[in-house]
Structure 1
């Protein structure tokens, strides 16, 4: 292949990938010549080839522009991959599909963004930015913005957990908080316990850190088996346990107060550290916020719970703001953060602190919980109307439903079939260490478009019935 042909292929790929969009001007012949160390004549040949194939058009005295989509040749994409599908492949495919603007993200891990006060938050960011000084970056290095840490600590104190702002480390989202916490209390080769099914981030973290995992089952009706957990702690040298005590992802179940107390007692007895993922705690539907494992840990000097929280599910998705509450491992978490991501975003920390200080976060939360409950109730009625053969428990918070499919129906088949109609659910393979369970899918109940959702549920019913007849 000649050099002008190679350059033409490169630009064609960039146009296919939307790096250059319809109507946008390509770099001039002179600029492209300089960037690729080619002669002007070679670049001109490449552009002329693309023009003859319908990818670009030439405008006299203006240059070369990307042709409109309707003028381009149709390209049929084929896959040449022969690698076996792993959890990484499945997860990558799922996460990439969530970026599609055409799809209904029925299995998304994120709440409907229209539920959040983004305009108010943007004003807070702008206001904080106007007041910032040249030292702002240094002021927001680990453990993070002091004003923000104080505001977070005050909320814990009001919930009966008497921590100090010095116990809080701000992180780039809850996932970083959880990963740093796990790293702080374990080393490669250690044995840890994770739930099954569980948030896929936990499975990825264990694999990435070179840890050995033992799974403890979580049932949507009865929750995690404390007896099973106690047996694992007794029979194995377990260093840490990563778990969700409230509105577990994906099942939506919550531990009772007795279970929470017992789990902390077991951790203390067996010298195990608990990594508590509590990102959905503010999304409760009852009159009172549920307690956390940290509630039963703060009174002891033998701290066992590294508590991880976030505002991503309750206030500002996409801002990537989380934290770890730990006194014993505070310095260790800070050191690990400095050696990995250095720190969280200084403007984000300042802006959120400004919002929490000057706007009514609690009023927003009350409205958010009412809306989430209303949407959950609507979806439950739709599921019962369209797919009476499926089973599920109704969570008392959060925005997930863990749907049990009829016997013999594969969640992977339902997932793949619905993808053809741009309906994206979350199949069991993302959450389960093994495939011993019955087929399950996770649905997001926070979405707003009732007509689109009703049509999606009807289509899901149709696909399930078709699979039952195979």
Structure 2
């Protein structure tokens, strides 16, 4: 990372944390030069980058000022689901009906779960795939059975070391994307009827897996700014025979919240005290906007209880379907489950990604990808401020590519979803992120696509649709759901 990038990330962290108030003037070039021991050109480059990210603006002959919406202000109170009992899950029909709408190429992909493929080095990756296939040993069809291609697992292990933690190569199992890693991890530690803690709101695929395996879900609230409520989790562990937790500690889907290192350490210690395994879904970890890559909870695990799941689908190779799990004490069990189900991830794809990690300048690509996503987030934040009605609140994530939006209480997210589809716009309505179909006035939007007039117009149109009486809850429904699970994050500039 260049010196100006390091400086920009440090200043961005201060702004996002609210330590530099909205509208305040940033220090002069001379002050920053003296304070950080860098040249004026470095400071200028850093300020230009902050301006590109939408965090500051230049005023002629006056200097640079923090933009409205750049800092995080207090979020609404998080949803408090009942911890009295777990519930069977019936979510798949709803999820499938929503996701079907995101598959149309001509729909504006605000509801998509993936970033734009245009952000990935697909030509360079194709060269690595060719090279990887050429170098394959004919016996690789046997040798690369679980736990997977050894070169790829070594490259993954090196990335763990680069993040400041160790993960033995023999604990890493390569899978068909992170979703298989997560599902195999869940299968390894549960039986039908067992209770699994999930987040609220949380990743709908976790709910689908729980439904498919005939498990029971126990929802624990996620604050859109601070992440999982550890006190609520502690209560859940005391009251229920929880067999596993499926959680996202970095850039949580859908809220974008990230746990602090202190909370991650406390989480691991809490679960260890109850001997409860953690399935850590960490597919967005590499997509951080601040200078430092956040540690996973796995970094604090000394008991082998954390199964850390990652993927290249969100960072490098969409469609290649290569993920992994660093499985701790459960590695052998997961290997066997992999052999019993899908046998092996694509052997050529494993070889190709291994070659790219070794020779393809992966970190350079990630820097470019993160910068693009950060810029796209700034554009979406500006559009939301321009077009969303008063009372709308949203998060300002420090990584990933989702923004979680709480609309005015009367809005029906499912009705908004249906109306948006009629206008060629996809979105992800709040109820798919809850076992109880809560968050009825919330939506998740994807900013993982290069900003364009079409995207700008789609946000404008969404704001227009939100004002339509046809997307409002009935008075009966609105009264019944007031004060329930629908929480967003950063207030709009006009709210």
Task: Work out whether the TM-score is over 0.5.
Answer: yes
Secondary structure of the 1:328 match is helix
2:455 to 437, 444, 453: 453
Structure with the larger RCO, 1 or 2 (CA within 8 Å, 6+ apart) = 2
Q: 1:221 maps to which residue?
A: 225
Distance in 1 (CA, whole Å) between partners of 2:297 and 2:416 is 36
Structure 2: gaps (5+ residues): 1-89, 473-495
Q: 2:441 maps to which residue?
A: 439
Distance in 2 (CA, whole Å) between partners of 1:142 and 1:338 is 7
Distance in 2 (CA, whole Å) between partners of 1:101 and 1:189 is 39
Distance in 2 (CA, whole Å) between partners of 1:437 and 1:99 is 23
Pairs within 5 Å for 1:255-266: 255-266=259-270
Does residue 93 of the first structure (1) align with residue 97 of the second (2)? Answer: yes
Q: Compared with structure 1, are the counterparts of its residues 454 and 280 closer, same or farther at alpha carbon in structure 2 (3 Å cutoff)?
A: same
2:174–2:325 contact (8 Å) kept in structure 1: yes
Q: 2:418 maps to which residue?
A: 416
**Deviating 4+ runs (over 4 angstroms):** none
Secondary structure of the 1:141 match is coil
Q: 2:179 maps to which residue?
A: 175
2:383–2:456 contact (8 Å) kept in structure 1: yes
2:291 to 280, 287, 290: 287
For residue 202 of structure 1, report the CA deviation from its aligned partner: 0.1
Pairs within 5 Å for 1:292-331: 292-297=296-301, 300=302, 302-331=303-332
What TM-score, normalized to structure 1? 0.79
Distance in 2 (CA, whole Å) between partners of 1:291 and 1:142 is 26
Q: 2:338 maps to which residue?
A: 337
1:193–1:215 contact (8 Å) kept in structure 2: yes
2:286–2:293 contact (8 Å) kept in structure 1: yes
Secondary structure of the 2:111 match is coil
Distance in 2 (CA, whole Å) between partners of 1:234 and 1:313 is 36
What per-residue deviation string (whole Å, max 9, x for no partner) do you get for residues 170-211 of structure 1? 000000000001111111121110111111110011111111
For residue 434 of structure 1, report the CA deviation from its aligned partner: 1.8
What per-residue deviation string (whole Å, max 9, x for no partner) do you get for residues 71-94 of structure 1? xxxxxxxxxxxxxxx632222222
Distance in 1 (CA, whole Å) between partners of 2:431 and 2:341 is 29
Secondary structure of the 2:108 match is coil
Pairs within 5 Å for 1:32-431: 87-297=91-301, 300=302, 302-389=303-390, 390-431=392-433
Which piece of structure 1 moves more, 276-285 or 178-187?
Answer: 178-187
What per-residue deviation string (whole Å, max 9, x for no partner) do you get for residues 41-72 of structure 1? xxxxxxxxxxxxxxxxxxxxxxxxxxxxxxxx
2:188–2:330 contact (8 Å) kept in structure 1: yes
Secondary structure of the 1:156 match is helix
1:409–1:468 contact (8 Å) kept in structure 2: no
**Larger-gyration structure (1/2):** 1
For residue 449 of structure 1, report the CA deviation from its aligned partner: 4.2
For residue 460 of structure 1, report the CA deviation from its aligned partner: 0.5
Distance in 1 (CA, whole Å) between partners of 2:336 and 2:471 is 57
Distance in 2 (CA, whole Å) between partners of 1:284 and 1:137 is 36
User: Number of matched residues?
Assistant: 382
What per-residue deviation string (whole Å, max 9, x for no partner) do you get for residues 415-434 of structure 1? 00010011000101211122
What TM-score, normalized to structure 2? 0.75
Secondary structure of the 1:183 match is helix
Distance in 1 (CA, whole Å) between partners of 2:256 and 2:367 is 20
2:379–2:451 contact (8 Å) kept in structure 1: no
What per-residue deviation string (whole Å, max 9, x for no partner) do you get for residues 217-263 of structure 1? 11212321110000000111111000000000011111111111111
2:306–2:328 contact (8 Å) kept in structure 1: no
Q: 2:492 maps to which residue?
A: none
Q: 1:74 maps to which residue?
A: none
What per-residue deviation string (whole Å, max 9, x for no partner) do you get for residues 393-430 of structure 1? 20000000001011100100110001001100010121
Q: Compared with structure 1, are the counterparts of its residues 178 and 368 closer, same or farther at alpha carbon in structure 2 (3 Å cutoff)?
A: same
Q: Compared with structure 1, are the counterparts of its residues 327 and 434 closer, same or farther at alpha carbon in structure 2 (3 Å cutoff)?
A: closer
For residue 344 of structure 1, report the CA deviation from its aligned partner: 0.4
Which piece of structure 1 moves more, 115-124 or 432-441?
Answer: 432-441
1:404–1:438 contact (8 Å) kept in structure 2: no
